[in-house]
Amino acid sequence: MSKTAISTENAPKPVAAFSQAVRKGNILQVAGQVAFDPATGAIVGETVAEQTEQTFKNIEAVLEAAGSSLADAMMVRVYLTDVDHFGAFNEAYNKLIGEAPHPARTTVYVGLPAGLLVEIDVLAVTD
């Protein structure tokens, strides 16, 4: 079984040598997405809620390019720059994640490039 790279113009292009997502069989790993506008490369939003919304748009674009959706998400890893952003992030996330059963989730606090407040990657299993 071979690996297949997934790519779409509807999500930001990677800045290094990695794919937007990789599929092997029915396993789909979406690389960490941030709040970049895919057309301009500019950060969308100044708040964690605004950036979370754009990040989800980017994730959904990659999933769609792979013939998948958030309904296939099994695991979501969230990287926040500030523990004080957790409440606002969680509120936005709960509006965006979709119907239950919800994927498992891990949230960690990290440093991200200037201006970015959130990064999210997704592991999906498709039928």
Mean pLDDT of 105-110: 95
pLDDT in tens, 54-101: 999 999 999 999 999 999 999 999 999 999 999 999 999 999 998 889
Domain extent for 58: 3-125
Give just the sign of the alpha carbon dihedral 70, 13, 27, 119.
Answer: negative
Parallel/antiparallel/unpaired status of strands 3-6 and 21-24: antiparallel
At 9, phi and psi to the nearest 5?
-75, -10
- CATH value at residue 28: 3.30.1330.40
Parallel/antiparallel/unpaired status of strands 104-109 and 73-80: parallel
At 114, phi and psi to the nearest 5?
-50, 130
Q: Which residues contact 88 (CB under 8 A, 6 or more apart)?
A: 47, 48, 49
The percent of residues above 90 in pLDDT, for the chain, comes to 94
Query: What order of strands is seen across the sheet that includes strand 73-80?
Result: 3-6, 21-24, 27-33, 118-125, 73-80, 104-109
Residue 125 pLDDT more than 90? yes
How many structural domains comprise the chain? 1
Rounded to whole angstroms, the Cα distance separating 107 from 47 reads 17
Residue 127 pLDDT more than 90? no
Give the pLDDT score at 72. Answer: 96
In terms of Cα–Cα distance, which of 45, 29, 49 is closest to 89? Answer: 49
φ/ψ region of 45 (left if φ > 0, alpha if ψ in -120 to 50, else beta) reads: left
Residue 40 pLDDT more than 90? yes
